[in-house]
């Protein structure tokens, strides 16, 4: 889908492939060293663990009842029946809490069967969010509400949540790991493509960050090592039983006997080769029993799966594809406007029941699919309907129109000498940048950027600023009170778009930019080779875009505090 879109990504993939054979060799050498003293006789294969992670999303096509039923009947049910028929085999099932609610309301027998698997330890229930939210785009407060609503569902239905984290779109970040550790999780599953986008790593794929273990999806099959691991499946559970057919083609998605027979044969073959068909937690416990210690995770920026295709969260926060109805900028900005209404209601002491209802709707509006790979009109309506429902829960019809320029209380005047150059490239219409400077605070600038995209899809429009240092400095999602400053030299050359929940990104030499989210949200791109920060929109049709940036010098701690004040974090 992203072919030709990001040339830098293609170059990096070529460089990465050259290093692959060296990496495999080094892993083998490492494991061979670890075998010394293991007590296993020569010629005996290391114990093996075969893992399956089935990611289920009741919001696969958000708002489509037909798709939801297909996802359950042709995706979940065949796998539940399969594992009930093979009690010796274990697996991980990941889903949002709302999936359990949907099963209870529409498929109570399926819910009972699934609970049998979970209670028997055969299925490990993995769940990190109430809805399948674009969690890298929103701050820790939103995560707290999502976690609370999710836990209430588990308690209502008597399910035990595992300590494993795997998320919608495989989103990963150290702020999410920090949140997970604080809330009782123990291990995060990280997709190999994401890790390899930033690092070449010859170590065993078992790491630690923020006090949480991280297991990278990477096979280690050396029979002479201390332990073997293979990933047979990690992906959308809806397609595991259908031979790959997708819920977007709901008329043809069908569970196939061939797919289930193949799964059975693959698991039997793995067993014959000495692999235990296990859960992630069982594998992690085996690592611990072996005496294996996780290594420190090398620097990793916030990212979803396939960063080479979607350039991080750009796929959800600026890339429009070619459907005329897509609304990335409009919907993501709308989330922040509605969020302002909820925060104001909290400050005014609104009752908890109304707030809980409103937050549930906003979290549904924050799900990834309405602005994702191939959003359909029903998914865009889904997000807008939940915006309206969140406001209605607070007896509102419109969100408050707040402005940080006003609530900061400064007087503003035109700035004759801007502190940094802002360049708008691409086929933007009526583009302008208006600079102002605070009279009451030294070196606090505001840049108002406006333009309109052409009426037809016409490529990339980029609002870019230079970086004066080869460093990425930002607050990872869920760590908005901190600033991570990572030299480019500590990662592979990269291009990535970050969600920037508090809007903060460093420009170098002690200068910072804060995007005021309620005024307009596009992902913040960082290109280590061009040494630029950019806010991009691609293929949007006749969309009026407004962005507001606060630019100022400060310490990292002062910058984070100011960003959190601007965006009410």
DSSP 8-state class, residue 45: P
Inside any domain, residue 14: no
Strands 495-498 and 164-165: unpaired
- Say what angle helices 174-182 and 140-157 make with each other, to 10 degrees: 40
Inside any domain, residue 462: yes
Phi/psi at 284 (nearest 5 deg)? -60, -40
Separation between Cα atoms, residue 423 and residue 401, nearest integer Å: 28
Inside any domain, residue 555: yes
Is the domain of 411 the same as that of 386?
A: no
Is the domain of 274 the same as that of 328?
A: no
Q: Which residues of the chain have pLDDT under 70?
A: 1-43, 244-255
The residue range of the domain holding 114 is 48-310
Is the domain of 323 the same as that of 301?
A: no
Tell me the CB-side half-sphere exposure of residue 273, using CA atoms within 13 A. Answer: 17
CATH code, 68:
3.20.110.20
What's the sign of the alpha-carbon dihedral 525, 526, 532, 533? positive
Is the domain of 184 the same as that of 287?
A: yes
Tally of domains within the chain: 3
Is the domain of 281 the same as that of 145?
A: yes
pLDDT at 401: 87
From residue 424, how far is each of 93, 133, 318, 427, 435 by CA, in Å? Answer: 45, 30, 15, 9, 14
pLDDT at 448: 99
> Do the beta carbons of residue 253 and residue 243 sit within 8 Å?
no
pLDDT at 247: 66
Q: Helix (H, G, I), strand (E, B), or coil: what is residue 139?
A: coil
> Do the beta carbons of residue 479 and residue 140 sit within 8 Å?
yes
Largest CA distance in the chain: 78
Is the domain of 418 the same as that of 552?
A: yes
Separation between Cα atoms, residue 268 and residue 214, nearest integer Å: 28
> Do the beta carbons of residue 24 and residue 209 sit within 8 Å?
no
Inside any domain, residue 104: yes
Is the domain of 473 the same as that of 534?
A: yes
Is the domain of 341 the same as that of 490?
A: no
> Do the beta carbons of residue 398 and residue 376 sit within 8 Å?
no
Domain edge (last residue) among 310, 342, 376: 310
Is the domain of 303 the same as that of 334?
A: no
Helices (H), 256-415: 257-272, 280-290, 307-310, 328-347, 352-365, 377-392, 404-407
Residues in the chain: 569
Domain edge (last residue) among 249, 279, 310: 310
SS (H, E, C) 145-192: HHHHHHHHHHHHHCCCCCCEECCHHHCECHHHHHHHHHCCCCEEEECH
pLDDT at 369: 94
Is the domain of 492 the same as that of 373?
A: no
Separation between Cα atoms, residue 455 and residue 81, nearest integer Å: 50
Inside any domain, residue 19: no
Inside any domain, residue 412: yes
* Ramachandran assignment for 124, one of left (phi > 0), alpha (psi -120 to 50 degrees), beta (any other): beta
Q: Helix (H, G, I), strand (E, B), or coil: what is residue 232?
A: strand
Separation between Cα atoms, residue 337 and residue 387, nearest integer Å: 9
pLDDT at 243: 79
Separation between Cα atoms, residue 414 and residue 403, nearest integer Å: 18
From residue 99, how far is each of 142, 246, 360 by CA, in Å? Answer: 19, 18, 14
> Do the beta carbons of residue 395 and residue 350 sit within 8 Å?
no
Is the domain of 276 the same as that of 370?
A: no
Reading the block at residue 106, the tokens are 């529409």
Inside any domain, residue 418: yes
Strands 544-553 and 445-452: antiparallel
Inside any domain, residue 454: yes
Is the domain of 323 the same as that of 211?
A: no
Helices (H), 36-132: 65-70, 77-85, 97-106, 108-119
Chain centre distance of CA 206: 20
User: Of the candidates 405, 406, 388, which has an alpha carbon nearest to the alpha carbon of residue 397?
Assistant: 388
């Amino acid at each position: 889908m992203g072919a030709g879109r990001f040339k830098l990504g293609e170059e990096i993939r070529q460089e990465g492939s050259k290093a692959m054979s060296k990496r495999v060799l080094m892993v083998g050498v490492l494991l061979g060293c670890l075998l010394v003293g293991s007590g296993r006789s020569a010629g005996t294969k290391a114990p093996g663990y075969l893992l399956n992670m089935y990611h289920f999303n009741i919001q696969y096509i958000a708002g489509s009842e037909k798709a939801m039923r297909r996802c359950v009947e042709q995706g979940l049910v065949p796998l539940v029946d399969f594992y009930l028929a093979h009690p010796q085999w274990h697996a991980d099932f990941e889903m949002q809490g709302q999936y359990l609610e949907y099963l209870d309301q529409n498929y109570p027998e399926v819910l009972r069967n699934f609970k049998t698997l979970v209670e028997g330890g055969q299925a490990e229930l993995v769940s990190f969010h109430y809805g399948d939210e674009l969690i890298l785009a929103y701050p820790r407060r939103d995560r707290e509400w999502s976690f609370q609503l999710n836990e209430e569902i588990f308690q209502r239905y008597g399910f035990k949540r595992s300590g494993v984290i795997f998320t919608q779109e495989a989103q990963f970040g150290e702020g999410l790991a920090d949140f997970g550790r604080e809330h009782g999780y123990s291990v995060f599953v990280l997709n190999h493509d994401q890790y390899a986008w930033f690092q070449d790593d010859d170590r065993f794929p078992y790491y630690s960050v923020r006090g949480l273990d991280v297991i990278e999806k990477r096979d280690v099959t050396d029979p002479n090592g201390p332990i073997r691991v293979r990933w047979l499946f990690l992906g959308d559970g809806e397609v595991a039983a259908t031979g790959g057919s997708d819920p977007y083609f709901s008329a043809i998605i069908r569970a196939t006997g061939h797919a289930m027979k193949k799964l059975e044969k693959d698991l039997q073959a793995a067993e014959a080769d000495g692999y235990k068909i296990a859960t992630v937690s069982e594998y992690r416990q085996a690592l611990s029993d072996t005496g294996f210690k996780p290594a420190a995770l090398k620097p990793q920026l916030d990212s979803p799966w396939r960063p080479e295709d979607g350039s991080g969260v750009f796929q959800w926060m600026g890339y429009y594809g070619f459907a005329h109805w897509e609304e990335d900028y409009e919907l993501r900005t709308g989330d922040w406007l509605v969020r302002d209404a909820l925060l104001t209601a909290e400050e005014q002491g609104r009752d908890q029941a109304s707030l809980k209802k409103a937050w549930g709707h906003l979290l549904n509006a924050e799900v990834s699919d309405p602005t994702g790979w191939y959003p359909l009109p029903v998914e865009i309506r889904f997000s807008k309907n939940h915006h309206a429902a969140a406001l209605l829960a607070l007896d509102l019809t419109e969100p408050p129109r707040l402005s940080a320029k006003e609530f900061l209380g400064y007087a503003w005047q035109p700035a004759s000498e801007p502190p940094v150059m802002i360049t708008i490239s691409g086929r933007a219409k009526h583009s302008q940048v208006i600079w102002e400077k605070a009279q009451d605070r030294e070196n606090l600038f505001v840049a108002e950027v406006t333009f309109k995209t052409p009426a037809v899809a016409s490529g990339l429009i980029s609002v870019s600023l230079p970086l004066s240092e080869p460093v990425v400095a930002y607050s990872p999602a869920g760590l908005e009170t901190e600033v991570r400053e990572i030299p480019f030299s500590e990662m592979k050359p990269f291009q990535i778009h970050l969600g920037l929940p508090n809007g903060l990104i460093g420009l170098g030499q002690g200068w910072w930019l804060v995007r005021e989210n309620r005024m307009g949200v596009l992902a913040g791109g960082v290109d280590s080779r061009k040494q630029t920060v950019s806010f991009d929109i691609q293929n949007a049709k006749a969309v009026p875009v407004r962005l507001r940036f606060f630019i100022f010098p400060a310490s990292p701690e002062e910058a984070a505090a100011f960003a959190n004040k601007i965006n009410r974090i």
